[in-house]
Amino acid sequence: MGNLKPNINPELHKINDTDLISDTNQYSQSVKSDISLEALKKEFDSFERIDLQNDSHRKELDLMFPNWLILQASERNLKRFMSMSRYDRKNNTFIGGCFENTPEYCNLVSFKKRRLAIGKWITRKGTHPNSSLLIIIYPDGEPIYFIEGIHDSLTAVLLGINFVMVPYAGYRNTDPSHLQREVAARNVIFLVEDAAAYKCMKKLAVQIQDSAKSIKLKPLEDSQKKVDLSDYIKNFKTIKEVINGLYD
């Protein structure tokens, strides 16, 4: 592909030259944690499974997603979403599982509670999910989207799109070989939320530029305003409209 020239106006995404924090072991099956993976999964499964007929559960979902997204999600995608989600009755909040992919399987490495008194998307104490990529790529369909954060990963699951979820904008991939295999000969679109996301996504794009069929960096808002995938879909009424907008 030669030198990568992203189709994005860098003037809209200026940031300083501070280096990104380096995270390692992103494909390790034993991410450092104060709790074993087995105990973590048991704790995650001790929370309520999402029930679309439960008023408390639906109230949380309505705060996270437009109603049409849940209604239009396919059986496959809704089932995957349910497997990644729980509800904390004590705190009346949604819980999203944090997963890491290896070439063979996907591990639960943490979970985050959507809203607590101390803030939003609070990570389970003693776990460290910010070095883990979540990769969901189906054999059918194009392209592969790079997105950021747990909320966007849940949104992408319901949309049914192929994606690589970067845990946060400070993420640095120290071993690109696995990503290069995943995106080989595929069209790739990096969804850019803001300046920090642009710097992170640009580095990943450079790592895979010789493997991917094509690469596009797409800002979700033509301004300095931070807009993520979960915000972006609110401009539409159907999954098809969202996908057409993302691919445009």
Mean pLDDT of the chain: 86
Q: Kindly report, residue by residue over 216-242, the tens digit of the pLDDT.
A: 999 987 666 788 999 999 999 999 999
**85 found inside a domain:** yes
Q: Is residue 193 domain-resident?
A: yes
**Inside any domain, residue 205:** yes
DSSP structural state of residue 164: E
Domain membership of residue 104 as a residue range: 21-247
How confident is the model over 157-211, as pLDDT tens digits?
Answer: 999 999 999 999 999 898 899 899 999 999 999 999 888 899 999 999 999 999 9
* Cα 59 to Cα 37: distance, rounded to the nearest angstrom: 30
pLDDT tens digit string along 119-146?
Answer: 999 999 999 999 899 999 988 778 999 9
Edge-first strand order for the sheet with 106-116 is 85-88, 93-101, 106-116, 119-123
Note whether residue 12 is domain-resident.
no
Does residue 28 form part of some domain? yes
Predicted model pTM: 0.85
Separation between Cα atoms, residue 211 and residue 73, nearest integer Å: 31
Residue 102 has pLDDT above 90, yes or no: no
- Would you say residue 70 has pLDDT above 70? yes
Question: pLDDT (tens digit, 9 = 90+) per residue, 3-57?
Answer: 444 444 444 433 332 222 223 233 333 445 688 999 999 999 999 999 999 999 9
Specify whether the CB–CB gap between 144 and 184 falls below 8 A. Answer: no
Is residue 118 in some structural domain?
yes
Instruction: Dihedral sign for Cα 148, 238, 13, 204, please.
Output: positive
E strand or H helix at 202: helix 195-208
Q: Which pLDDT value is given to residue 9?
A: 46
Give the count of domains, the chain: 1
Question: Considering the domain boundaries, does residue 5 fall inside one?
Answer: no
Q: Is residue 66 part of a domain?
A: yes
* Structure tokens, 232: 């972006």
